[in-house]
């Protein structure tokens, strides 16, 4: 094969677990992966929404499994991952995408909500990773993509809990990456700026000039490109920006 035809790696037939797959970036990732021939295990709290995504993913001819789970609950996550393993086999790819975003200054924010942001974004990511990682270590192979945020690199006023949680994901991911490189496990952190999803625009999503902003599908496409890279290379940290959102 000529050098120009060199391909990184085939991702068709792999198994990916995706958290927060019921909407936004997670949903787009589930469908894009299914289109690429990846079998997908979908996690989020809302089963009805997950089932709708599953139906669309199945249309691409891949195996799909859904489990409704609150990732803040460690025991529930352990059970969910056991269930996905039974139905799809162990994960080759883990997308830690589920997260919540709370707006409000430090004093305005209800302490319970502030804490909940950490329980979902930080502990949730930890719980899922902790449940999935042993199989990757055993196989001596795997890909983990953690979705932090541009707020995880540069905080903004009115986002103390969200930014703090996303900075924490940054640190956790960087440390994990160093821990498991030797197991041939690639750990990527993505840091998107504004993406046109419910989280960013709430129920005003339809009123926005969406084309100006990054779409969830753009992020999914970026993930596919990262995963197709040759096993010897990975992008440890990346920032996704809209070209001209003005």
* Sign of the alpha-carbon torsion through 77, 79, 80, 82: positive
Sign, Cα dihedral of 83, 87, 90, 96: negative
CB of 9 to ligand NAP, least distance (A): 25
162 catalytic per annotation: yes
Cβ at position 1, least distance to ligand NAP in Å: 37
Residues 87 and 33: their CA atoms lie apart, in Å, by 17
CB of 190 to ligand NAP, least distance (A): 8
Among the listed ranges 57-65, 67-75, 202-210, 230-238, the one in contact with ligand NAP (CB under 6 A) is 67-75
- β-partners of residue 44 are 68
What is the DSSP-derived secondary structure letter of residue 97?
-
Min separation Cβ 199 and ligand NAP, Å: 3
Spatial contact of 188 and 146, defined as CB atoms under 8 Å apart: yes
- The reply on whether position 20 binds ligand NAP by CB under 6 A is yes
Residue of minimal CB distance from ligand NAP? Answer: 24
What part of residues 112-171 is at the interface with ligand NAP (CB under 6 A)? 120, 124, 147, 149
CA distance 52 to 128: 23
Does the protein bind ligand NAP through residue 22 (CB under 6 A)?
yes
**Residues whose CB is less than 8 angstroms from the CB of residue 134 and which lie 6 or more positions away in sequence, other chains included:** none
Residues that bind ligand NAP in the complex, under the rule CB under 6 A: 19-26, 44-46, 49, 70-72, 97-101, 120, 124, 147, 149, 192, 194-195, 197-200, 216
For the annotated catalytic residues, the residue numbers are 162
């Amino acid at each position: 094969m000529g050098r120009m035809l060199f391909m990184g790696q085939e991702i068709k037939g792999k198994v990916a677990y995706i958290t927060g797959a019921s909407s936004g970036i997670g949903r787009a990732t589930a469908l894009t992966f299914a289109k690429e021939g990846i079998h997908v295990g979908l996690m989020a709290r809302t089963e009805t929404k997950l089932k709708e995504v599953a139906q669309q993913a199945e249309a691409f001819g891949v195996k799909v499994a859904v489990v409704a789970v609150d990732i803040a609950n460690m025991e529930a996550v352990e059970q969910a991952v056991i269930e996905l393993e039974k139905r799809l086999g162990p994960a080759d790819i883990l997308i830690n995408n589920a997260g919540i975003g709370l707006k409000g200054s430090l004093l305005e924010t209800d302490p319970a909500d502030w804490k909940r942001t950490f329980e979902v974004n930080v502990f949730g990511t930890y719980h899922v990773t902790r449940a999935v990682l042993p199989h990757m270590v055993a196989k001596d192979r795997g890909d983990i993509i953690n979705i932090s945020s541009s707020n995880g690199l540069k905080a903004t006023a009115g986002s103390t809990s969200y930014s703090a949680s996303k900075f924490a994901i940054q640190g956790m991911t960087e440390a994990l990456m160093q821990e498991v490189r030797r197991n041939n496990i690639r750990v990527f952190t993505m840091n998107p700026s504004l993406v046109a999803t419910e989280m960013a625009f709430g129920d005003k999503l339809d009123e926005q000039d969406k084309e100006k902003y990054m779409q969830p599908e753009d992020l999914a496409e970026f993930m596919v490109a990262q995963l197709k890279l040759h096993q010897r290379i990975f992008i440890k940290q990346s920032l996704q920006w809209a070209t001209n959102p003005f």
